[in-house]
């Protein structure tokens, strides 16, 4: 399944200059769909039972949200700001899942634990190594340095994991790398226990604890910082994927690895770079997570990883925009369920999250932005 990082059938043409070589470009998926649709033009659209039920569920959710907003607009908007901040973190983690899947079709379940190590390493660097535990201009500079350090450490670790654990299994049955990813997850959790301990560890935040008021809504500064840091990171990643040479190679490898090899692309290097990019985003998310929640724990990656995976499925696994939108939606839904009027409450949050995953898999397996595709065996 090629990720939707633009028009997929033009990537190899951009790199290999197929037109100059006289090779016909493959027919685009849109063209194929258009030819099929032309034959059926004018035929009445048929709604299946699944689509009707799905639309009914969506309509009920929208009505529920409107009811909640009408009952307490101030509280609703207050909770919404928290959801956007959490959603930004989920988006950073979800991108790691979707990029790796887009190229080697592996659900890297160790990615959540990589995020956990990023949070622990970042907290140790900021508090113990440079001694910054309170908000100040110097501490903010050190926080920026901490984020760079955590991103580099997680990127390097992810590259090592790919080379030692996954590279030899690319042509193995799909169950083999999946089980290996679970094993790597346990290894990273044990490293987290050694660094952080088995109990939750309280950490200090160097972000301001004050709020700004917009009308009757108080917005915490730390939530604004999370969004303000996340947006440039997402834009930088988008620029790398869409505009740089390595980004074009990533898109080509995602479309057809074998053809990329024949045309001279170093696929091993491209895949390693993809793991490094995903690891760097996980490290950034880990540092921001500690600054917002002021806590590290060795099992944080399991819970946050599953939520981010749900976000990737919601948006469409292999679709970068889908990962971002899915992360924001999951963050908003989680926060609304925790604190908005007429929702189920915090004790039902996990149930709500995975009910969304199940419903999406049943009614739209490709996600919001993905396409339903079948693999031929």
Q: Looking at residue 23, what is its pLDDT?
A: 44
Cα distance between residue 180 and residue 158, in whole Å:
14
For residues 44-48, average pLDDT: 62
pLDDT in tens, 127-175: 999 988 888 889 999 999 999 999 999 999 999 999 999 988 888 888 8
Q: Looking at residue 196, what is its pLDDT?
A: 92
Residue 314 lies in a domain: yes
Residue 174 lies in a domain: yes
Residue 209 lies in a domain: yes
pLDDT in tens, 258-272: 888 888 889 899 999
Which range marks the domain in which residue 79 is found? 50-363
pLDDT in tens, 184-235: 999 999 999 999 988 998 998 899 888 888 877 888 888 899 999 999 998 9
Residue 214 lies in a domain: yes
Q: Which has more pLDDT, 95 or 214?
A: 95
pLDDT at 30 over 50: no
Reported residue count of the chain is: 377
pTM: 0.80
CATH of the domain at 208: 1.10.3470
Domain total of the chain: 1
pLDDT at 6 over 70: no
Residue 203 lies in a domain: yes
Q: Looking at residue 38, what is its pLDDT?
A: 44
Residue 85 lies in a domain: yes
Q: Looking at residue 21, what is its pLDDT?
A: 44
Q: What is the mean pLDDT of the chain?
A: 82
For residues 44-56, average pLDDT: 68
Q: Looking at residue 323, what is its pLDDT?
A: 87
Q: Looking at residue 141, what is its pLDDT?
A: 94
Instruction: Classify the C-alpha dihedral 106-164-243-259 as positive or negative.
Output: negative
Helix (H/G/I), strand (E/B), else coil: 220: strand
Residue 87 lies in a domain: yes
* Those residues with Cβ within 8 angstroms of residue 104's Cβ, 6 or more apart along the chain or in another chain: 166, 170, 177, 271
Q: Cα–Cα–Cα angle for 164, 105, 7, nearest 5°?
A: 130
Cα distance between residue 204 and residue 333, in whole Å:
28
Residue 41 lies in a domain: no
Could you tell me if 313 and 361 are in contact, meaning their C-beta atoms sit under 8 angstroms apart? yes
DSSP, res 374: -
* Those residues with Cβ within 8 angstroms of residue 376's Cβ, 6 or more apart along the chain or in another chain: none
For residues 324-352, average pLDDT: 87
């Amino acid at each position: 399944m090629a990720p939707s990082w633009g028009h997929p059938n033009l990537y190899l043409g951009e790199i290999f200059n197929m037109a100059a070589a006289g090779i016909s470009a493959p027919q685009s998926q849109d063209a194929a769909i258009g030819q099929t649709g032309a034959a059926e033009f004018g035929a009445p659209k048929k709604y299946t039972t699944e689509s009707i039920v799905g639309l009914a569920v969506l309509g009920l959710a929208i009505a529920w949200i409107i009811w909640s907003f009408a009952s307490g607009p101030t509280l609703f908007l207050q909770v919404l700001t928290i959801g956007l901040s959490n959603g930004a973190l989920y988006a950073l983690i979800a991108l790691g899942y979707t990029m790796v899947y887009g190229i080697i079709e592996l659900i890297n379940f160790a990615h959540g634990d990589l995020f956990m190590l990023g949070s622990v390493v970042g907290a140790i660097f900021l508090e113990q190594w440079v001694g910054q535990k309170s908000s100040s201009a110097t501490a903010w500079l050190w926080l920026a340095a901490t984020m760079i350090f955590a991103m580099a450490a997680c990127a390097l670790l992810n590259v090592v994991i790919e080379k030692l654990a996954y590279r030899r299994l690319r042509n193995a049955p799909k169950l083999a790398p999946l089980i290996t990813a679970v094993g790597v997850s346990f290894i990273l959790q044990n490293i987290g226990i050694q660094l952080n301990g088995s109990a939750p560890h309280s950490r200090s935040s160097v972000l301001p604890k004050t709020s700004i008021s917009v009308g009757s809504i108080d917005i915490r500064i730390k939530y604004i910082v999370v969004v303000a840091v996340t947006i440039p990171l997402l834009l930088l990643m988008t620029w790398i994927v869409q505009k740089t040479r390595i980004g074009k190679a990533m898109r080509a490898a995602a479309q057809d690895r074998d053809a990329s090899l024949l045309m001279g692309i170093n696929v091993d290097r491209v895949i390693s770079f993809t793991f490094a990019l995903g690891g760097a985003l996980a490290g950034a998310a880990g540092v921001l997570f500690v600054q917002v929640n002021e806590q590290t724990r060795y099992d944080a990656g399991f819970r946050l990883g599953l939520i981010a995976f749900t976000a990737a499925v919601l948006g469409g696994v292999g679709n970068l925009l889908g990962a971002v939108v899915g992360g924001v939606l999951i963050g908003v839904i989680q926060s609304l369920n925790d604190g908005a009027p007429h929702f189920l409450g915090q004790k039902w949050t996990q149930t709500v999250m995975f009910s969304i995953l199940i419903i999406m898999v049943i009614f739209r397996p490709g996600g919001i932005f993905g396409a339903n595709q079948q693999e031929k065996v």
